[in-house]
């Protein structure tokens, strides 16, 4: 694939992430913090997010599978996931966590189970799409090209 075509594909793909609500403007803030002195900042932060989230989701599954659910353990995990997803701009994960917290407050076990499934669904979606985004960027760099600046004209 030609370089120009790859760059266009990257721009279109990135735009789709915003149009679909998977990412919000906070992701652009992350990109603005990336520069020559910190060229891998976005992928480093996102990787940290993936590592933390995998652990949190595992802990949440275990906590909700207990016979007696301890919401004092569940809620802080959801709060943490909400905070970190918000910080990288993973909007749909964050929104799913907001709903999850309200069910924690009500101590509604069934509601929490449903929310956990929704959070996992949104998390795996953003994970897959960001991994694809980073692969597209790597292909462009490997071909000797520059990552084009994002122009979100919508």
Partner 1 sequence: MQEDSYTLITNTKKHTHALEHLLFEEKKPKMATTSTSTGDIKKTKSVEVKKKLNVLIVDDDTVIRKLHENIIKSIGGISQTAKNGEEAVNIHRDGNASFDLILMDKEMPERDGLSATKKLREMKVTSMIIGVTTLADNEEERKAFMEAGLNHCLAKPLSKAKILPLINNLMDA
Residues 37, 21: Cα–Cα separation, whole Å: 30
- Give just the sign of the alpha carbon dihedral 64, 69, 71, 77: negative
Nearest to 57 by CA among 130, 126, 117: 117
Residue from 16, 44, 66, 138 binding partner 1 (CB under 8 A): 44
* No. of helices (H) and no. of strands (E), the chain: 6, 0
Contact pattern from residue 66 through residue 105 relative to partner 1, giving x for each residue in contact according to CB under 8 A and a dash for the rest: ----------x--xx-xxx-xxxx--------x--x----
Q: Does residue 39 interact with partner 1 by CB under 8 A?
A: no
Output 52 or 145, the one with its CB closest to partner 1.
Answer: 52
Residue from 11, 13, 15, 41 binding partner 1 (CB under 8 A): 41
Q: Does residue 38 interact with partner 1 by CB under 8 A?
A: yes
Q: Does residue 15 interact with partner 1 by CB under 8 A?
A: no
Dihedral Cα 43, 31, 94, 91, nearest 10 deg: -120
48: Cβ contacts below 8 Å, ≥ 6 apart: none
Q: Does residue 58 interact with partner 1 by CB under 8 A?
A: no
Q: Where on the chain is the footprint of partner 1 (CB under 8 A)? A: 26, 29-30, 32-33, 38, 41, 44-45, 48-49, 52, 76, 79-80, 82-84, 86-89, 98, 101
């Amino acid at each position: 694939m030609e370089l120009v075509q790859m760059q266009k594909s990257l721009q279109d793909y990135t735009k789709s992430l915003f149009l679909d609500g998977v990412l919000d403007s906070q992701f652009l803030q992350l990109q603005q913090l990336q520069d020559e002195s910190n060229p891998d900042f976005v992928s480093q932060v996102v990787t940290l997010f993936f590592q933390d989230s995998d652990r949190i989701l595992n802990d949440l599954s275990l906590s909700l599978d207990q016979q007696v659910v301890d919401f004092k353990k569940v809620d802080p995990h959801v709060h943490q996931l909400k905070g970190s997803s918000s910080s990288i701009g993973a909007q749909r994960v964050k929104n799913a966590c907001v709903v999850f917290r309200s069910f924690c407050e009500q101590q509604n076990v069934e509601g929490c189970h449903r929310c956990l499934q929704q959070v996992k669904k949104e998390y795996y979606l953003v994970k897959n799409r960001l991994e694809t985004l980073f692969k597209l960027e790597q292909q462009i760099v490997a071909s000797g090209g520059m990552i084009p600046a994002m122009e979100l004209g919508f």
